[in-house]
């Protein structure tokens, strides 16, 4: 009997196997989480020693030697006995560091490592996402500038409306992404450290350690915060930092999800009209049954992940809402899912969007043909104005145009023919005074208003300053997408 491969017999998140980057996955890995716990215990010990507690350099050096070499099997066995993840890791770390064992986790509660680690991860995750988001913005801005004056049909109510340009439409996507950048940057810049607060946030255990010296306890909070790389800590907490922090961040990510969904839905609609396509690899298969198909799978993937991001906002809101008094533990399992999946989904979306934005394909001839089917109807007001200037009666001209438009519309809708309104106008002697002007009257670029100028102004005034803010941190190289 063939040996069974056990690797594929348990659940594995597609965010890990298919979508998110290795860098973002590492941030939410057990290795990173528990090694960060150990780093925090070391920072706490260093700060306590500096403030006079009986902790030696040898104890600190011993802990520093074992930051990364975590015995996960031993920790799992301990947790099975204690039903407490933090104490399981305290015991395992203490066995590796017998000299330091008496001072590991001194005065702290579980949330010292749990919450502070989460805050460090959230900060790092935002630092990873923002340059990718700005990379997408930068690529789309280049696309918008390239096609700033290419006329295309605008749509309202998903019905043909006045013309816009391909670049101007792209600028609408960029504007939403800029709002997402601002929201996520604000989340990162406003993020604080929980610090050392004790079991209900009162710092009572630390006040005992320092014999009632309140100034030293405050200094301990400040020192550990600085050592951890934060400028500020939350002045008041319960046992945990407020889950409002999670809600603000997940809400910003959910908002990014809405932006991504809107943009990628537009791309899917335009792909169905054959006006614009996302990249399509030479060996890519669009359909198992229809070899000719070029499905917009990247945009569809983004929409799928974006919908998941949007739903996670409700999780974060409900978790905040049920944190009774100083905290309840029913946040724990939910946050393990919500925070990681929000960031991993956002990371996957931005990686895919970067790939899309670097390879968008425009088909001007198809766009031109689609315009030709609608522009004659849109130009009727201009035709009327030209006839009036040539001495015609507006009401008479309006009636003439109305009749010819209905006749041309019947050819399109009832007989599936091309829009022949212009030919009908040319054939009617009434319009003889303006026949020489019809070419300019029907030039699509005369129907796009200030669209091209708006794109230039928008990119120069709003996009470029944000791109410059990130300098060489902007992610511009698209990685090979996973399956």
Catalytic residues: 157, 287
In whole angstroms, what is the distance from residue 398 CA to residue 473 CA? 58
Q: Which residue has the tokens 């198909």?
A: 293
115, HSE (Cβ side, Cα atoms, 13 Å): 30
Task: State which H helix or E strand residue 161 sits in.
Answer: strand 159-165
Residue 165 bridge partners (DSSP): 151
Q: Which two tokens stand for residue 66?
A: 């074992």
Cβ-contact 56, 132 below 8 angstroms: no
Tell me 462's DSSP state: I
In whole angstroms, what is the distance from residue 375 CA to residue 425 CA? 14
In whole angstroms, what is the distance from residue 225 CA to residue 40 CA? 10
Q: In terms of Cα–Cα distance, which of 364, 344, 351 is closest to 139?
A: 351
Task: State which H helix or E strand residue 160 sits in.
Answer: strand 159-165
Q: In terms of Cα–Cα distance, which of 379, 385, 406 is closest to 397?
A: 385
The beta-strand segments (E) located in 388-461 are none
In whole angstroms, what is the distance from residue 93 CA to residue 88 CA? 9
Cβ-contact 452, 167 below 8 angstroms: yes
Helix 332-357 / helix 244-272 crossing angle, nearest 10 deg: 30
Dihedrals φ, ψ of 130, to 5°? -60, -45
Residue 153 bridge partners (DSSP): 163
Cβ-contact 355, 475 below 8 angstroms: no
Question: What is the residue-wise DSSP string for 164-233?
Answer: EEHHHHHHHHHHHHHHHHHHHHHHHHH--B--S--SSSS-HHHHHHTTT-HHHHHHHHHHHHHHTT-S-B
């Amino acid at each position: 009997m063939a040996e069974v491969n056990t690797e594929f017999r348990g659940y594995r998140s597609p965010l890990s196997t298919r979508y998110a980057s290795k860098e973002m996955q590492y941030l939410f890995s057990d290795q990173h989480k528990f090694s960060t716990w150990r780093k925090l215990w070391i920072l706490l010990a260093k700060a306590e020693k500096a403030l006079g507690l009986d902790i030696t350099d040898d104890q600190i050096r011993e802990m520093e030697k074992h930051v990364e070499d975590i015995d996960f099997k031993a920790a799992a066995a301990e947790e099975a006995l204690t039903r407490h993840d933090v104490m399981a890791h305290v015991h395992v770390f203490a066995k590796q560091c017998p000299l330091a064992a008496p001072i590991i986790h001194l005065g702290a509660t579980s949330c010292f490592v749990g919450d502070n680690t989460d805050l460090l991860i959230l900060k790092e995750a935002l630092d990873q996402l923002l340059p990718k988001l700005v990379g997408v913005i930068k690529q789309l801005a280049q696309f918008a500038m390239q096609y700033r004056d290419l006329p295309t049909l605008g749509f309202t109510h998903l019905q043909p409306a006045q013309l816009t340009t391909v670049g101007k439409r792209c600028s609408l996507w960029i504007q939403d992404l800029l709002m997402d950048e601002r929201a996520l940057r604000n989340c990162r810049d406003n993020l604080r450290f929980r610090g050392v607060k004790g079991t209900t946030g009162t710092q009572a255990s630390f006040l005992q350690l320092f014999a009632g010296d309140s100034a030293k306890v405050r200094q301990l909070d400040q020192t550990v915060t600085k050592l951890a790389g934060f400028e500020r800590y939350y002045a008041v907490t319960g046992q945990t930092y407020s889950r409002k922090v999670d809600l603000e961040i997940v809400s910003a990510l959910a908002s990014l999800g809405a932006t991504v969904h809107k943009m990628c839905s537009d791309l899917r609609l335009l792909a169905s009209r054959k006006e614009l396509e996302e990249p399509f690899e030479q060996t890519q298969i669009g359909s198992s049954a229809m070899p000719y198909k070029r499905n917009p799978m990247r945009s569809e993937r983004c929409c799928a992940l974006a919908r998941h991001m949007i739903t996670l906002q409700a999780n974060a809101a409900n978790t905040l809402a049920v944190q009774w008094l100083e905290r309840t533990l029913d946040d724990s399992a939910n946050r393990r899912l919500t925070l990681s999946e929000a960031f991993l989904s956002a990371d996957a979306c931005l990686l895919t969007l970067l790939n899309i934005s670097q390879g968008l394909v425009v088909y001007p001839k198809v766009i031109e043909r689609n315009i030709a089917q609608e522009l004659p109807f849109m130009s009727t007001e201009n035709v009327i104005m030209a006839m009036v200037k040539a001495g015609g009666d507006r009401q008479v001209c309006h009636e003439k145009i109305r009749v010819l438009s209905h006749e041309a519309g019947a050819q399109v809708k009832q007989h599936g023919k091309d829009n022949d309104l212009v030919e009908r106008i040319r054939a009617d002697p009434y319009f003889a005074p303006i026949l020489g002007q019809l070419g300019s009257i029907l030039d699509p670029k005369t129907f796009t208003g200030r669209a091209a100028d708006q794109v230039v102004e928008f990119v120069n005034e709003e996009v470029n300053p944000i791109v410059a803010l990130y300098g060489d941190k902007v992610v511009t190289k698209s990685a090979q997408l996973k399956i």
